[in-house]
Amino acid sequence: MFSATGEIIMRLLLISNSTNAGEEYLGHPKENIREFLGKERVKALFIPYAGVTISFDDYEKRVSERFREIGHEITSIHHSSDPVTAVREAEAIVVGGGNTWQLLRMTQDNGLIDHVREKVLSGTPYIGWSAGANMACPTIKTTNDMAITEPGSFEAFGLVPFQINPHYLDSNPEGHAGETREQRINEFTVVNRGIYVVGLREGTMLIAEGGKMRLAGPKNARLFFGSSRPVEAGSGDDLSFLLREEQWRV
């Protein structure tokens, strides 16, 4: 996480969702990804394990099309006979959305959790959307996805000390009398004391570079902590306090 001079070098782009209504796939974050990766061509390693109803080949093709448009390329890890080496040699790591439970299980089964964490903390850029954003957290306990498979544990990459709830919604569908998303997250923060949860609304993302983190996108994020009343954070707001190491607890 730190350079030889003590500078924080971790770089993260954590996106709530891949697609806004009426837009092309990866349309809304495309320019953010371009800016994040820079002008020099990057060959990124794509982890498609969250794909369930789409083949990994088709998933790779879909993401590759967008990355080529912004001057970068990806190669999916599922082509590699040695996934660990693929992670170690990656110029950037990109983790797509889908089912978080399958993503975590396959990442664990391939022995990649510690290797991805080490690689990203050493300065390799990490981009994740939806399930891929969840995977940057200490655990996947704040995912919205159905547990269609059982991973070895809830432990994810642990690149940040807080949790993310992608696709955060403020209201329930009409006629639904069950718990709201806010109530579910409040349950988590009451049981898991000392851990923030960031509710990322559609079209928003967290950008962490050089020890600082900010919110980007057209909507606010909602911050949850303990039994306190949730607060709103706006686009461009400095959220660097969420990266404090004293919050690294699960």
Q: pLDDT per residue over 181-225, tens digit each?
A: 999 999 999 999 999 999 999 999 999 999 999 999 999 999 999
d(CA 35, CA 176): 40
Catalytic residue among 167, 235, 237, 240: 167
| Confidence check: pLDDT of 248 > 50 | no
Catalytic residue among 28, 76, 115, 145: 145
Residue 82 confidence (pLDDT): 98
Tell which residue, 247, 248, 98, 234, has the closest CA to residue 166. 98
d(CA 120, CA 123): 5
Least confident of 29-33, 163-167, 169-173: 169-173
How far from 160 is each of 27, 43, 168, CA to CA, in Å?
26, 24, 19
| Confidence check: pLDDT of 3 > 70 | no
| Confidence check: pLDDT of 176 > 80 | no
What architecture (CATH level 2) is domain 11-247?
Answer: 3-Layer(aba) Sandwich (3.40)
Residue 245 confidence (pLDDT): 56
| Confidence check: pLDDT of 227 > 90 | no
| Average pLDDT estimate for 3-25 | 82
Residue 6 confidence (pLDDT): 46
The domain ranges of the chain are 11-247
Residue 148 confidence (pLDDT): 98
Residue by residue, DSSP assigns 208-241 as EETTEEEEESSS-EEEE-TTSPPEEE-TT-B-GG
130 catalytic residue (yes or no): yes
Percentage of residues of the chain with pLDDT beyond 90: 88
Residue 4 confidence (pLDDT): 44
Computed on alpha carbons and rounded to an integer, the radius of gyration of the chain in Å comes to: 17
Task: Report yes or no: 167 and 16 within 8 Å, Cβ to Cβ.
Answer: yes
Residue 8 confidence (pLDDT): 58
Structure confidence by residue, pLDDT tens digits, 107-116: 999 999 999 9
Catalytic residue among 16, 18, 76, 130: 130
| Average pLDDT estimate for 31-52 | 97
d(CA 130, CA 144): 10
Least confident of 7-11, 53-57, 153-157, 233-237: 7-11
d(CA 146, CA 134): 14
Residue 117 confidence (pLDDT): 98
Please give the structure tokens belonging to residue 246: 């004293």
